[in-house]
Amino acid sequence: MGCTLLLAPVASANFIGPKAGGSPNANQISSLYHIILYIAAFVFVVVEGTLLYSVVKFRAKRVRHAAQIHGNTRLEVGWTVAAALILVAITVVTFVKLPSIITPPNSSAAISYQSASVNEPTPPNGKQLTICVTGRQFIWMYSYGAACDKHRWDAKLPYSYQQMVVPVHTTVVLVIQSIDVIHSWWVPALGGKVDAVPGYTTYTWFKALHTGLFHGQCAQLCGRQHAFMTAQVKVVAPGQYAAWLKQQGVAINAANDQVGTLRQMLTREGQL
């Protein structure tokens, strides 16, 4: 297939295909996309090729008259069956690939986190890192640890805004909610879009294949500052992650203490 050779370098540059390379689910989505793209490209070339051939070959000539042909049963049955077979092939390939997009694999890194909820996508051995993602106009908030699912605000979990920090090779399950309007969590190299809908909890997962910085963008028009609602996922070594988590907890406590002291001061001076 000439078109495959032509499209391959373009597709590998992520020019027309979805981003991939960051997580197994993103890779599966990307390969499914390219299988369907190549089938569609093949059909396009065959149909347009036949059309061009016919336009040239049967173009109007002064002396000849066009023959009027009414139907060709064999041809019509042929292209109907061929189209149906293509649809069946796409359906089969999709259903074969779906489980690896929906169900997370086990972590490659040794982790002690346990699954928290029956609703979450869960890797076979049940070990995962749970992070709650909360959308609001116009920033993403992340709280770390399985308890975030139930005690988002009072469990005193470490949290961060805009940039999520995660360990590499670890199955990370995201519990996604919104506190105002519909937002959509999307870090293309780490998987598909998942809406954050007020009143509902949605889930997705990723397992970062290498360390680095991954960029994302809220994918649901959510208000005037929607374009600024970006997301970053910083993938680090597991040891670095543990250290960051601890340091983040200390920083949050220190900031809370400062606010507490300020409040006491202002109350004493009668300004609150």
Point out which residues bind Cu ion (CB under 5 A). 183, 218, 222, 229
Q: Judged by CB, which is closer to Cu ion: 183, or 207?
A: 183
Rounded Cα gap, residues 184 and 138, in angstroms: 12
Q: How many residues does the chain have?
A: 272
3-state secondary structure at position 80:
helix
Cβ atoms of residues 191 and 23 within 8 Å: yes
Judged by beta carbon, residue 159 or residue 244, the one nearer Cu ion is 159
Q: Which is nearer to Cu ion, 37 or 141 (CB)?
A: 141
Q: How far apart are CA 219 and CA 21, in angstroms?
A: 20
Which residue lies nearer to Cu ion by CB, 130 or 178?
Answer: 178
Angstrom distance (rounded) from CA 160 to CA 163: 7
**Least gap, CB of 136 to Cu ion (angstroms):** 8
- Shortest separation between residue 219's beta carbon and Cu ion, angstroms: 8
| Number of helices and strands in the chain (H, E) | 4, 10
Residue-wise burial string across 57-84, b where 16 or more C-beta atoms lie within 10 A, e elsewhere: eeeeeeeeeeeeeeeeeeeeeeeeeeee
3-state secondary structure of 98: helix
Residue 135 vs 145, nearer CB to Cu ion: 135
CB of 172 to Cu ion, least distance (A): 21
The CB-of-173 to Cu ion minimum distance in angstroms stands at 21
**CB closer to Cu ion out of 148 and 229:** 229
Is the Cβ–Cβ distance between 154 and 111 less than 8 Å? no
- Residue 221 beta carbon to Cu ion: minimum distance, rounded to whole angstroms: 8
Closer to Cu ion at the Cβ: 230 or 248?
230
For the bound state, the minimum distance from the C-beta of residue 233 to Cu ion, rounded and expressed in Å, comes to 16
Q: How far apart are CA 39 and CA 16, in angstroms?
A: 15
**DSSP strand E in the chain: where?**
129-136, 139-144, 159-161, 163-167, 171-178, 183-185, 194-196, 202-207, 212-217, 230-236
Q: How far is the CB of 77 from Cu ion (least distance, A)?
A: 50
Strands 230-236 and 212-217: antiparallel
Report the nearest approach of Cu ion to the CB of residue 35 (Å).
32
Q: In this complex, which beta carbon is closest to Cu ion, that of residue 3 or of residue 197?
A: 197
